[in-house]
Amino acid sequence: MTNSEFVDDKKIKDIMLYIKSMKHAEQIRMMFMCSLNGLRSINFAYLQVKDCYTDQLKPKDVINLDYDKNKGKHKCSYFMNSQMKKEFADYLNYLQQKWGENLSPETYLFTSQKRNRPYNRVSISRLFGFIYNKFGIKGASHLGRHLFVSKLVNAGVNICLVQKLANHRNIATTQKYFIYSEKMLANAVENVRV
């Protein structure tokens, strides 16, 4: 499924509000937040406590993932902004309630059942597609990455930095991820003055 539709912040807020009404809302919201902050579903499907939190259970500044939790058998790093660190701190409360004394560094952040088994990536894609479809958007779990790249580019972040933040090996891939809206085009031409 291609992700070529720009989704504005108002629609994202509407989606997040809808997610609150869903079963397993805490997990779905956090998966959405991970997607909107550039993580691939393969990255967040297999996240464990040790990946996201320090030994003192504080959210990490950078999530460093090994080959087994990334596409193409390459290591990757995702930088967390202050909002994401707060989201992870809040999510830890949910994990502590869910797992109690059984919470360990090996615990997966997103599990489909009470057992400590990660969410299936295909299920995540279907779930995201279902939610986006409710709002008339064609997209799945990867749409969040496209929006992440588009927001960075629109904010004026150098494309080489965007490439690194998205963990793309080729800058041409990063360029393909950029989704624009009519408003972005209108705002861009306002920068041209004689």
Query: Under a CB-based contact definition with an 8 Å cutoff, are residues 144 and 35 in contact?
Result: yes
Q: In this predicted structure, what is the pLDDT of residue 31?
A: 96
Q: In this predicted structure, what is the pLDDT of residue 164?
A: 94
Q: In this predicted structure, what is the pLDDT of residue 2?
A: 45
Q: In this predicted structure, what is the pLDDT of residue 106?
A: 95
CB under 8 Å to 38, separation ≥6 — which residues? 78, 144, 145, 148, 149, 165, 166, 167
Is domain 9-141 annotated with CATH 1.10.443.10? yes
Q: In this predicted structure, what is the pLDDT of residue 114?
A: 64
Q: Which amino acid is at 100?
A: G
CA angle (134 as vertex; 131, 140 as ends), nearest 5: 40
Terminal-to-terminal C-alpha distance of the chain: 43
Q: What is the pLDDT along the chain (194 residues), one digit of tens a residue?
A: 445 667 888 999 999 999 999 999 999 999 999 999 999 998 999 999 999 999 999 999 999 999 888 887 789 999 999 999 999 999 999 999 999 999 999 999 999 776 778 888 888 999 999 999 999 998 888 899 999 998 898 888 999 999 999 999 999 988 888 777 777 778 778 877 77
Q: Which amino acid is at 89?
A: A
Domain boundaries, the chain: 9-141, 145-189
Distance of CA 192 to the CA centre of its chain: 34
